[in-house]
Amino acid sequence: MKKKFPIMILAAGFGKRLHPLTQQIPKPLIPVLGLPILGYTLALLKHHKFNHVVINVHHLGNQIMEAIGDGTRFGIEVTYSVEEKILGTAGGLKKALHLLEDPFLVINGDIITDIDLPELLENHHHLKSQATLAVKPHHQGDESFGQLEIDAQNHILSFLNPASKETRKAFFTGVHVVNQSILTSTPKDAELCIVRDTYIPLTNQKAKLMAFWQEGFWSDLGTPDRLHETERQLEKNPKALSYQKEIDFIKTHW
């Protein structure tokens, strides 16, 4: 039986908000304090003893595959899902399903986070959710990350409606656990968004989507301002990430 992988990193996008930089280098390879963004995610996986990962690639994908290779020098087995055309988040996951365990973890390739991945997985299994999304409180100024409405039992009620007095606002961090069954009806080779085309319809159907409140550092690096702000935060607080030892290891072997 072919090996199944527990985690997928989404790294296929164009990174248009970071043009012209991402016209020459894929967003996951943009350096942050001397280590590409993707290196931080590999360090996080090592820290939590995840040694197998799928990475999807499209835009300048050869650069990612050349930089990471098969992952041997990092102590992580890496396989690739190569998209001849861009498939979006849901489409990319659908294409790679045959490589993945059920359920599986998904991590955006343009974030740096200090999430407890085993706790997220345990939460998903315990609550028997169809998908569990890592979220953080939605404060003023977070509008660009979208808004989720979450009830007191951490059910995700909506991705669009403003929270009432009985519910809480949050934003999705780009880390989630997914049951393969929610992608059963997703067409093959179609460019689709996991939030717009999968999660929002599921919430409309009252499906069991759960929120996991993430603690610790998180940053999206999708714009020049956020990139610089993340570097500033990490320089100011060298202990912001609990897996610094693994970061140093990945940096040494890059």
Only one residue has tokens 């940096």, namely 251
Whole-number Å distance between alpha carbons of 134 and 215: 10
H helical segments located in the chain: 37-47, 61-68, 88-96, 117-127, 194, 200-204, 224-236, 244-253
Share of the chain above pLDDT 90, in %: 87
Residues 6+ apart with CB under 8 A from 130: 179, 181, 182, 202, 207, 208, 209
pLDDT value for 186? 95
pLDDT value for 147? 86
Whole-number Å distance between alpha carbons of 67 and 239: 27
Q: Would the pTM count as exceeding 0.85?
A: yes
Number of domains in the chain: 1
- Domain with 175 in it: 5-253
Whole-number Å distance between alpha carbons of 173 and 33: 22
How sure is the predictor about 88, in pLDDT bands with cuts at 50, 70 and 90?
Answer: very high
Note the pLDDT tens digit of each residue in 21-64: 889 999 999 999 999 999 999 999 999 999 999 999 999 999 99
Instruction: Give bridge partners of residue 9 from the DSSP assignment.
Output: 55, 107
What count of residues does the chain have?
254
Which CATH number belongs to the domain containing residue 11 in this structure?
3.90.550.10
Note the pLDDT tens digit of each residue in 195-217: 999 999 999 999 999 999 999 99
